[in-house]
Amino acid sequence: GQNIDQPTEMTATEGAIVQINCTYQTSGFNGLFWYQQHAGEAPTFLSYNVLDGLEEKGRFSSFLSRSKGYSYLLLKELQMKDSASYLCAVRDGGFQKLVFGTGTRLLVSP
């Protein structure tokens, strides 16, 4: 089966750093993706990891440990516009579909 877990909600202050964790147990694995989604809008691609380690992309970094079934998304220098849901998704090894986690709603306060 597919099981991808994330915290439901997190809060942080503008300018701070926040880490959103994702654990997964899936039948297939061919990469882990992070998407940002504002309410009622489309998910926007942030980053992905195929191999273990850290991928950095501006204010966003993502880490993967395949042996532990674990990833995190690190957001630095938080801005109010970062208030959104963050979706962790595993790319199924078979035909590349994405299996999404439950999503983490991040609230950034002044």
Partner 1 sequence: AAGVIQSPRHLIKEKRETATLKCYPIPRHDTVYWYQQGPGQDPQFLISFYEKMQSDKGSIPDRFSAQQFSDYHSELNMSSLELGDSALYFCASSLDGGYYEQYFGPGTRLTVL
- CB-wise, 69 or 101, nearer to partner 1? 101
Query: Does 94 contact partner 1 by CB under 8 A?
Result: yes
Looking at the Cβ atoms of 95 and 110, the one nearer to partner 1 is 95
**CA–CA dist 57, 43 (Å, integer):** 17
Nearest to 85 by CA among 100, 63, 107, 56: 107
Smallest gap from Cβ 97 to partner 1, in A, equals: 5
Question: Residue 48 interacts with partner 1 (CB under 8 A)?
Answer: yes
Query: Is residue 109 a contact residue for partner 1 (CB under 8 A)?
Result: no
Count of chain residues binding partner 1 (CB under 8 A): 22
Site for partner 1 in 8-37 (CB under 8 A): 33, 35
CA distance 19 to 39: 21
CA distance 58 to 52: 19
Q: CA-CA distances (angstroms) from residue 51 to 12, 46, 68?
A: 29, 16, 13
Give the interface with partner 1 as residue ranges (CB under 8 A). 33, 35, 40-45, 48, 87, 91-92, 94-103
